[in-house]
C-alpha cells in the first residue's frame, strides 16, 4: 500500500466514525494529531506541548486494521479512553510495579464494550468473552475500569496474562508529571468541544453510560462533603420568635414577632461491615467517617452494619470484626427503633452497594450513600443521593 492509499484509508476511517458515532469521531477531531512512523504502537494518547495528541503510526495502523471500518473502531477505542479519562486516572498508578498490565487490561475491557456495534468487531480487542474463554470467569457487564482491574488482579494470580494488546499503547499516559491539573483541564476541553460539535449536528445514538460520563465533565458533581454540608444546614429543628421577622399571619402588626427556623440535626453514620468489604475498603471508610466527625457540627451517632446494626462508641478505637451478608433495611429499622426523627436526621451510609434488591421501607428521606468509584447500589428503587467516596 502506497502513502496516498494509506492516508486515504485513515481519512475514510475518521469519516466512518463521524457518520456512525459522531461523539467518538468529534473526540478524535478535537485531539491534536501527530504522524510518527517510529512509534511502537499503531495509536496512542500522549500529553505533550500543553496539548493532548493522538499519535498515529500510519504503517502499523493500516497493517493491523484491514479496512476503514476497523480503523474507525480502533479510533473509537481511543475516544472512549478519553471520555473515561483513563490517561489521567491511571497515569501515576501505571508506574507502580506490576500495575501497568493490569490497568491496560481493565481499561480496555471497560471501553471495548461501548464500541459501535454496527461497524463489526475490532481485531485484537480484549473482551469479557476473552476472559471467560481464558479463565472460565464471567465478569459483570458495563462496569468501571477499576472493577475490572480488581477482578483481573485476582485472576492473574491463577494464570498468566492474556496476549498483548494489538490496538494501542498506554505507556504515554505516564508522560504528564507535574502538569496533571493542566492536562485534566485540556482533556475536559476536548470532551466538551466534541460534545458541542455533536449536539450541533444533531445525529448519533450514544449509550447511556457514555452520555452520563460526558455530562459529568460538562456539569461535574459537587464534592460529596459540600453536598452533605448543604443537607445538614437545611434540616429545621424548631421555630423561634424573632423581632427581626414580620409575622406572616398579620404582617401589618409591628408588635407581633415573626418566626425563624433554627437549624440543627442528628447525623447517623453507618459503616458497611459485611464480608464483601475488604480491610482496605474498611480502612478508607473509617478514615472518611473521621473526616466527617471533624468537619461537621452535629449530634453524631456512628454504627456498623451487615445483617444487624451495632453502635460504634468510639470510632478511633473501633476494631472491625467481619460480618456476613448485607441488608440495608436493618439500618432504617434501627433508626426507627432508636426513635430518630426523620425530619431532623441526616443518614450517611458508607457501603460497596451490595445488598438486597427489593425496595426499602422507610420514612427517612435525607440519605447519602457513599460508594467506592465504579460501584452501584443494589436496591431496585434507589433514593437519596448516591455519591462517590
pLDDT tens sequence across 24-58: 999 999 999 999 999 999 999 999 999 999 999 99
**Cell numbers found for residue 290:** 473521621
User: Would you give the distance in Å from CA 281 to the centre of its chain?
Assistant: 16
What residues make up the domain containing 147? 3-218
> At residue 323, does pLDDT exceed 90?
no
Please report, for the domain that includes residue 338, its CATH number: 3.40.50.410
Burial class for 333, CB neighbours closer than 10 Å (0-12, 13-18, 19+): middle
Looking at every residue in the chain, the average pLDDT score rounds to: 85
Choice between 22 and 247, residue whose per-residue pLDDT is larger: 22
Q: Per residue, what are the HEC states of 299-358?
A: EEEEEEECCCEEEECCHHHCCCCCCCCCCCHHHHHHHHHCCCCCCCEEEEEECCCCCCCC
- Whether pLDDT at 256 is above 70: no
The 10 Å Cβ neighbour count of residue 256 is: 14
Q: Which of 115, 93, 110, 112 is nearest to 148 (CA)?
A: 110
Distances (CA, A) of 290 to 170, 271, 285, 286, 345: 37, 12, 9, 6, 19
Confidence of residue 138 (pLDDT cuts 50, 70, 90): very high
Are 325 and 307 contacting, i.e. CB atoms less than 8 angstroms apart?
A: yes
pLDDT band at residue 161 using 50, 70 and 90 as cut-offs: low
Q: What is the DSSP letter of 170?
A: -
Cα distances (Å, whole numbers) of residue 229 to 145, 180, 296, 347: 30, 28, 7, 12
Task: Tell me: pLDDT of 119 over 90.
Answer: yes
Cβ–Cβ under 8 Å, residues 127 and 111: no
Residue 257 resides in a domain: no
Q: Among 165-169, 179-183, 338-342, whose mean pLDDT is lowest? A: 165-169
Q: Given 218, 250, 285, which residue is the final one in a domain?
A: 218
- Give the pLDDT band (50/70/90) at residue 376: confident
pLDDT at 275: 86
Residue 249 lies inside a defined structural domain of this protein: no
Is 279 found in the same domain as 210?
A: no
Query: Do 182 and 279 reside in the same domain of the chain?
Result: no
- 272 and 184 in one domain? no
Same structural domain, 182 and 232: no
Question: Minimal CA–CA distance to 120: which of 186, 164, 68?
Answer: 68
81 and 111 assigned to the same domain: yes
pLDDT over threshold 90, residue 268: yes
Looking at the structure, do residues 298 and 204 belong to the same domain, yes or no?
no
Residue 374: the pLDDT is 75
pLDDT of residue 261: 46
**Are both 68 and 210 inside the same structural domain?**
yes
How confident is the model at residue 228, as a pLDDT? 75
329 and 211 share a domain? no
Task: Find the mean pLDDT for residues 90-115.
Answer: 91
Mean pLDDT of 79-106: 91
Residue 164 shares a structural domain with residue 277: no
In a domain, 87, yes or no: yes
* Average of per-residue pLDDT across 281-300: 83
| 194-207 confidence digits (pLDDT tens) | 999 998 877 667 88
Query: Does residue 246 lie in a domain region?
Result: no
In a domain, residue 371? The reply is yes
Whether 47 contacts 176, CB under 8 Å = yes
Does 197 share its domain with 341? Answer: no
User: Coil, strand or helix: which one is 190?
Assistant: helix
Which pLDDT score, from 0 to 100, does residue 240 have?
54
- Summarize pLDDT for 352-367 with one digit per residue, the tens: 999 999 999 999 988 9
Q: Kindly indicate the confidence band of residue 263, based on its pLDDT and cuts at 50, 70 and 90.
A: very low
Q: How far apart are CA 200 and CA 203, in angstroms?
A: 8
- pTM for the model: 0.63
Q: Judge if 63 and 211 occupy the same domain.
A: yes
3-class DSSP state of 121? coil
Share of the chain above pLDDT 70, in %: 86
Residue that is last in its domain, among 218, 251, 282: 218
What integer pLDDT is reported at residue 385 of this predicted model? 87
Residue 62 confidence (pLDDT) = 93
| Residue 268 and residue 140 share a domain | no
The total number of structural domains that make up the chain:
2
Amino acid at each position: 500500500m502506497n502513502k496516498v492509499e494509506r492516508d486515504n484509508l485513515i481519512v475514510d476511517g475518521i469519516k466512518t466514525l463521524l457518520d456512525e458515532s459522531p461523539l467518538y469521531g468529534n473526540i478524535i477531531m478535537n485531539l491534536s494529531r501527530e504522524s510518527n512512523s517510529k512509534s511502537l504502537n499503531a495509536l496512542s494518547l500522549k500529553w505533550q506541548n500543553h496539548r493532548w495528541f493522538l499519535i498515529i503510526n500510519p504503517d502499523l495502523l493500516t497493517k493491523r486494521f484491514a479496512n476503514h471500518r476497523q480503523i474507525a473502531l480502533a479510533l473509537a477505542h481511543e475516544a472512549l479512553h478519553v471520555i473515561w479519562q483513563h490517561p489521567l486516572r491511571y497515569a501515576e498508578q501505571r508506574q507502580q510495579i506490576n500495575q501497568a498490565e493490569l490497568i491496560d487490561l481493565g481499561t480496555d475491557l471497560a471501553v471495548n464494550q461501548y464500541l459501535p456495534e454496527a461497524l463489526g468487531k475490532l481485531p485484537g480487542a480484549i473482551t469479557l468473552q476473552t476472559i471467560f474463554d481464558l479463565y472460565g470467569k464471567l465478569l459483570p457487564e458495563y462496569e468501571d475500569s477499576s472493577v475490572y482491574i480488581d477482578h483481573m488482579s485476582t485472576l492473574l494470580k491463577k494464570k498468566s496474562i492474556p496476549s498483548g494488546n494489538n490496538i494501542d499503547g498506554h505507556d504515554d499516559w505516564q508522560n504528564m508529571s507535574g502538569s496533571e491539573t493542566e492536562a485534566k483541564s485540556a482533556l475536559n476541553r476536548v470532551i466538551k468541544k466534541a460534545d458541542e460539535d455533536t449536539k450541533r449536528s444533531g445525529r448519533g445514538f450514544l449509550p447511556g453510560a457514555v452520555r452520563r460520563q460526558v455530562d459529568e465533565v460538562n456539569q461535574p458533581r459537587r464534592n460529596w462533603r459540600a453536598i452533605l454540608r448543604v443537607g445538614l444546614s437545611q434540616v429545621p429543628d424548631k421555630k423561634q420568635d424573632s423581632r427581626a421577622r414580620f409575622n406572616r399571619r398579620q404582617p401589618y402588626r409591628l408588635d407581633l414577632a415573626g418566626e425563624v427556623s433554627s437549624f440543627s440535626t442528628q447525623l447517623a453514620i453507618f459503616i458497611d461491615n459485611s464480608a464483601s468489604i475488604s480491610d482496605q475498603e474498611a480502612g478508607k471508610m473509617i478514615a472518611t467517617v473521621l473526616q466527617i466527625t471533624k468537619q461537621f457540627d452535629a449530634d453524631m451517632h456512628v454504627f456498623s452494619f451487615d445483617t444487624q446494626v451495632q453502635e460504634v462508641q468510639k470510632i478511633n478505637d473501633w476494631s472491625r470484626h467481619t460480618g456476613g451478608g448485607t441488608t440495608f433495611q436493618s439500618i432504617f429499622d434501627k433508626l426507627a427503633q432508636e426513635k430518630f426523627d426523620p425530619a431532623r436526621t441526616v443518614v450517611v451510609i458508607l457501603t460497596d452497594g451490595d445488598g438486597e434488591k427489593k425496595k426499602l421501607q422507610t420514612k427517612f428521606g435525607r440519605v447519602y450513600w457513599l460508594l467506592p468509584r465504579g460501584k452501584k447500589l443494589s436496591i431496585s428503587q434507589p433514593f437519596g443521593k448516591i455519591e462517590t467516596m
